[in-house]
Amino acid sequence: METSVKATQGGKVWLITGASTGLGRVLAEYLLGVGARVVATARKVEQLRELGEKYPETALTLGLDVTRQESVDAAVAATVERFGRIDVLVNNAGFGMVGAVEESAEGEFRPMFETNVFGLIRVTQAVLPQMRKQRSGHVVNLSSIGGLVATPGFGMYNATKFAVEGLSEALAQELKPLGIGVTIVEPGPFRTDFLGRSGLVAERRIPEYEQTAGKMRAYFSEQDGKQRGDPKRAAAAMVKAVESEHPPLRLLLGASTIPRLKGKLEAWEKEVAMWQATTLGADFPEGE
């Protein structure tokens, strides 16, 4: 597979947000290894120094805070100045939070929305004029299986990823006539620092939620470093999807995602059937 990927990636320009750690970092390293040109960004650019030193001709490392418009605009301008184009945007910057909805303070969840949702919008809006000019490009938005199936204790995080799903689905339809693709990546648990230092735990604890949200708190502390997902395989899968003749709108990653999604769809289908008469009865009778 790597030989074919090298052939297709030569010269392509990928802009990746949140590339200091996790899937973003692994993806940047993978792409640089197969000959792509990569703009790796992070809030602390010094964390990307090794990439720039190892790949001085094909890597550009930039400081980028997706919550600041001026930082976003400067990074996009620097990318176009250096490489002349942007072929793939990977909106990877983001983090998670655990805690029941009632337990979550605004000061805890608002920064997550600023990064996971509004930051993604800022970067996408800044890059799209270049892609429209090229009449080509691909936007990859990192969601989560948590953007399709909600879990007690993950409500605020789920809300950010559900937002990414809806935005991306509409965006794909808007951009298709312009020759620009969109893929939503929905990973399950991967062995990154998502459950470690990148995750936020709500400070407030309410005893009544211990059997629901409390279990997710325990998962956060107990499963870090034990996740089945392999970030390197995920990176290869993402590149394969983008480079395919018919890129998917949605790309599930990790074996646990399939039964979770199928379980939700089956339950949803049963509920729709059970309440179908009520649903249809909400319209005016025909002829009125």
- 6 labelled catalytic: no
- Kindly report, residue by residue over 153-184, the tens digit of the pLDDT: 999 999 999 999 999 999 999 999 999 999 99
Catalytic residue selected from 20, 30, 104, 161:
161
3-state secondary structure of 38: strand
Domains of the chain: 2-280 (3.40.50.720)
Catalytic residue selected from 143, 144, 168, 209:
143
What percent of the chain stands above pLDDT 70? 90
pTM, full prediction: 0.91
Mean pLDDT calculated for residue range 217-235: 73
Which pLDDT does position 217 carry in this prediction? Answer: 81
- 55 labelled catalytic: no
Q: Flag whether pLDDT at 141 surpasses 60.
A: yes
Catalytic residue selected from 55, 104, 144, 157:
157
What tokens appear for 234 in the block?
A: 């995920």
- 168 labelled catalytic: no
Which pLDDT does position 165 carry in this prediction? Answer: 98
- Kindly report, residue by residue over 48-106, the tens digit of the pLDDT: 999 999 999 999 999 999 999 999 999 999 999 999 999 999 999 999 999 999 999 99
3-state secondary structure of 223: coil
Regarding predicted confidence, which is higher, 229 or 111? 111
Angle ∠(12,15,18) on CA atoms, nearest 5: 145
What tokens appear for 274 in the block?
A: 């059970």
Contact 165, 148 (CB under 8 A): yes
